[in-house]
Chain A
Amino acid sequence: QKEVEQNSGPLSVPEGAIASLNCTYSDRGSQSFFWYRQYSGKSPELIMFIYSNGDKEDGRFTAQLNKASQYVSLLIRDSQPSDSATYLCAPRAGGYNKLIFGAGTRLAVHP
């Protein structure tokens, strides 16, 4: 079992729709969770992070965390073609400084 599992996609959504990206993780010691976006050929850029169970909203983005289920998700409202990228889920490894990256979900938003 991989430490961080993400559906590789592509997840295809129409412009203006809600995109839902999911991630499960195996390390129960993880306490902080990060979402990064990576455009093709570029380095990752931080979207948002979440520490507590529940929802956290930042503009069009909402992160959801359920530590009991070891599940974290990212919702993108009013999806735009410019949101087309690979989204990386990254829990912080319990007891360590490092982030464990999933393989990412490729999102395609079509006009």
Chain B
Amino acid sequence: GAVVSQHPSWVICKSGTSVKIECRSLDFQATTMFWYRQFPKQSLMLMATSNEGSKATYEQGVEKDKFLINHASLTLSTLTVTSAHPEDSSFYICSARLSGADTQYFGPGTRLTVL
């Protein structure tokens, strides 16, 4: 149980384009999902907390207009990186929290490369 999927697993795009990443909880309902970014050999950095049916809460320093988050259902959250630039190249990982619990289960991650 508690399986989280992400799509795509990797993406290469040109500078200036937008990329959408999907995060799905497959066998449970997740009222809260989280988006993280991890650069090589660095720690996980929380970007935003996504609550179903409401606006995401962004961490300090994360541009909400650049990283658009939508959490339209209890099993799906999306992250759109708008006008991507090479410095946005990173490993993007989502996690989902079981309703009423603290535990977060992570998706397999999406590796984004912006040329």
Once bound together, how far apart are the Cα atoms of A92 and B108, in whole Å? 21
A33 and chain B: residue at smallest CB distance: B102
A96 and chain B: residue at smallest CB distance: B49
Interface of chain A: mostly helix, strand, loop or mixed:
loop
B67 within 8 A of A: no
Once bound together, how far apart are the Cα atoms of A70 and B25, in whole Å? 33
Contacts of B32 in A (CB 8 A): 97
A87 within 8 A of B: no
A13 to chain B, nearest CB (A): 21
A99 within 8 A of B: yes
Band of interface residues on A: 10 to 19
A42 within 8 A of B: yes
- Choose from A36, A49, A97 the contact partner of B49 (Cβ within 8 Å): A97
Contact between B49 and A103 (Cβ–Cβ < 8 Å)? no
Contact between B109 and A43 (Cβ–Cβ < 8 Å)? yes
Among A43, A49, A98, A99, residue most surrounded by chain B Cβ atoms (within 10 Å): A43
A38 to chain B, nearest CB (A): 8
Report A8-65 residues with CB < 8 Å from chain B CB. 32, 34, 36, 42-46, 49
Contacts of B104 in A (CB 8 A): 34, 46, 99
Contact between A98 and B49 (Cβ–Cβ < 8 Å)? yes
Contact between A46 and B105 (Cβ–Cβ < 8 Å)? yes
Contact between A44 and B102 (Cβ–Cβ < 8 Å)? no
Contacts of B34 in A (CB 8 A): 98
Contact between B43 and A102 (Cβ–Cβ < 8 Å)? yes
Contacts of B107 in A (CB 8 A): 43
| Given A49-B102, A92-B102, A98-B34, also A42-B108 (CB < 8 A) | yes
The 4 nearest A-B residue pairs measured at CB = A103-B43, A43-B109, A43-B106, A101-B44
Interface residues, chain B, CB within 8 Å of chain A?
32, 34, 42-44, 46, 49, 93, 97, 102-109
